[in-house]
Amino acid sequence: MKSALLMASAMAADASIPTTMRAAMVTTPSCSAPDFECINTVQTSVPEPKQGQALVQVAAASVNPSDYKQLETCAPNCQERGVIGGDVAGTVVQCPGCTRLKVGDVVWGMGQGSLAEFVTASEASLGLAPKKMNLTEAATLPEVALSDFVCLKTASAPWTGRENVTVAITSGSGGTGFFGIQLAKAFGATRVVTSTSKANFEFVKSLGADEVVDYHNQNIFDYLSNDSVDIVYDNFGKAGTGDKAMHAIRTGGAYVMLPNGDGNCFFSQSQKYPCVAAHPKEGVANINVITGNFFKDPSQVLAALNEMKGFIDAGQIEARVMQQFSLEDTRAAYAKVAEGHVNGKVAVVVQSGTIVV
């Protein structure tokens, strides 16, 4: 009887799925800031899921710095990228050959082409969405949350059984910063030090930052005394930062860099200067974190999503959505992220009346 009900539910869902959808696409050969006039919302075909893929009706998606940076380097073939976007939260409407997810499951994760009414993604890379946040909030987290997760894990998190663990996060108010502060505390950090502008001090303190440096007046590594921290999480990712950080890191600690492309550290995956310190302390890990390898492993992605869902549902981590845009205003969402100074994340709401799960 159960299998018959599931089949009937799937058939009903299939009958309601349209053949075309609204989607954000690049329609010109090149695409760049500040206006991203290359992005337009068009009608296109609803993708068909393959075996082991979920077709997700998208409630909301998000824009990350990596999204607009990829568009700035796609010329002269930008229009070949198809539907844009990566972060997603929504409801499974088809899942042929799936063994874990079923029609009606509310999910979050990453799916290429998420800035659309429907997206396909591997069942293995989608987790059940957190219950303590709405889908607009959930959709803003996957890329930044997974990036923080792999970087802090590389720095030996969780720090259970260790006392007085101090983590320094170089940039506190953006996507990886606001989530990273909370995740560091969830992983057992006693003290978190970060850097942002004076206007954002209360924002980062509300997330759990214990000490905040105004980067307009002082570099965070000038503020930190010798041997005062265990972990430096360089989420700003500027090439050459490792040597500036070393004096502050205790033996047994780590410098981990989330590269932003500066110095070609993201593309080269180099473990040499300037992507890591030229003169690391003995006993201090010195790592340019290769996040791409992690993102390519669905089992690791799912395990991380589930672990972070636990933190969220336990009230240890929350989303911070600075601004919401409609799908038709995706161009403006990209422009907002590209101009910088985003506190938390920018969301793109695809369906009105986002479901609270």
Tokens 């980062």 correspond to 204
Task: Determine the pLDDT at residue 134.
Answer: 96
Number of structural domains found in the chain:
2
Tokens 């198809």 correspond to 82
Task: Please determine, for residue 1, whether its predicted confidence score (pLDDT) is greater than 50.
Answer: no
In a domain? residue 308:
no
Percent of the chain's residues with pLDDT above 90: 89
In a domain? residue 148:
yes
Distance CA(192)–CA(176), nearest Å, equals: 14
In a domain? residue 97:
yes
Beta bridge partners of 39: 26
- Tokens for 353, please give them: 């009346």
pLDDT per position as a tens digit, 194-206: 999 999 999 999 9
Position 262 confidence tier, pLDDT thresholds 50, 70, 90: confident
Q: What is the 3-state secondary structure (H, E, C) of 39-75?
A: EEEEEEECCCCCCCEEEEEEEEEEECHHHHHHHHCCC
Please indicate, yes or no, whether residues 159 and 287 belong to a single structural domain of this protein: yes
In a domain? residue 209:
yes
Q: What is the DSSP secondary-structure string of 244-280?
A: HHHTTEEEEEEEEE---SGGGHHHH---STTTS-SSP
Task: Determine the pLDDT at residue 161.
Answer: 87
Please indicate, yes or no, whether residues 157 and 280 belong to a single structural domain of this protein: yes
Task: Determine the pLDDT at residue 233.
Answer: 98
Tokens 């110095």 correspond to 263
Distance CA(134)–CA(130), nearest Å, equals: 8
Distance CA(297)–CA(52), nearest Å, equals: 15
Residue 21 domain boundaries: 2-141+319-349
Specify the pTM: 0.92
Task: Determine the pLDDT at residue 2.
Answer: 32
Q: Which strands sit side by side in the sheet containing 229-234, from one edge to the other?
A: 211-214, 191-196, 166-169, 229-234, 249-257, 285-288
Instruction: Give me the chain's average pLDDT, please.
Output: 93
**What are the strands, taking DSSP E only, across 114-188?**
118-122, 126-128, 166-169
User: Cβ–Cβ contacts within 10 Å for residue 176, how many?
Assistant: 27
User: Per-residue pLDDT averaged across 242-247, rounded?
Assistant: 98
Q: Enter the DSSP assignment of 80.
A: G
Please indicate, yes or no, whether residues 133 and 30 belong to a single structural domain of this protein: yes
88, 155 contact by CB (below 8 A): no
Please indicate, yes or no, whether residues 167 and 261 belong to a single structural domain of this protein: yes
pLDDT per position as a tens digit, 3-57: 333 333 343 346 589 999 999 999 999 998 999 999 999 999 999 999 999 999 9
In a domain? residue 356:
no
> Nearest CA to 274 among 286, 285, 265?
265
In a domain? residue 334:
yes
Please indicate, yes or no, whether residues 126 and 195 belong to a single structural domain of this protein: no
Distance CA(113)–CA(84), nearest Å, equals: 5
Q: Which CATH number fits the domain that encloses residue 38?
A: 3.90.180.10
Tokens 């999204």 correspond to 67
Please indicate, yes or no, whether residues 329 and 285 belong to a single structural domain of this protein: no
Q: How far is CA 284 from CA 7, 287, 289, in A?
A: 56, 10, 15
Please indicate, yes or no, whether residues 123 and 10 belong to a single structural domain of this protein: yes
In a domain? residue 14:
yes
Position 274 confidence tier, pLDDT thresholds 50, 70, 90: very high
Please indicate, yes or no, whether residues 184 and 93 belong to a single structural domain of this protein: no
Residue 129's φ and ψ, nearest 5 degrees, are -65, 150
Please indicate, yes or no, whether residues 103 and 195 belong to a single structural domain of this protein: no
Tokens 């549902």 correspond to 313
Task: Please determine, for residue 145, whether its predicted confidence score (pLDDT) is greater than 90.
Answer: yes
In a domain? residue 261:
yes
Q: How many CA atoms lie less than 13 Å away from 27 in the CB half-sphere?
A: 12
Specify whether the backbone of 337 is left (phi greater than 0), alpha (psi in -120 to 50) or beta.
alpha
Please indicate, yes or no, whether residues 82 and 175 belong to a single structural domain of this protein: no
Please indicate, yes or no, whether residues 275 and 222 belong to a single structural domain of this protein: yes
Residue 74: what residue type? C
Please indicate, yes or no, whether residues 132 and 233 belong to a single structural domain of this protein: no
User: Per-residue pLDDT averaged across 218-226, rounded?
Assistant: 98
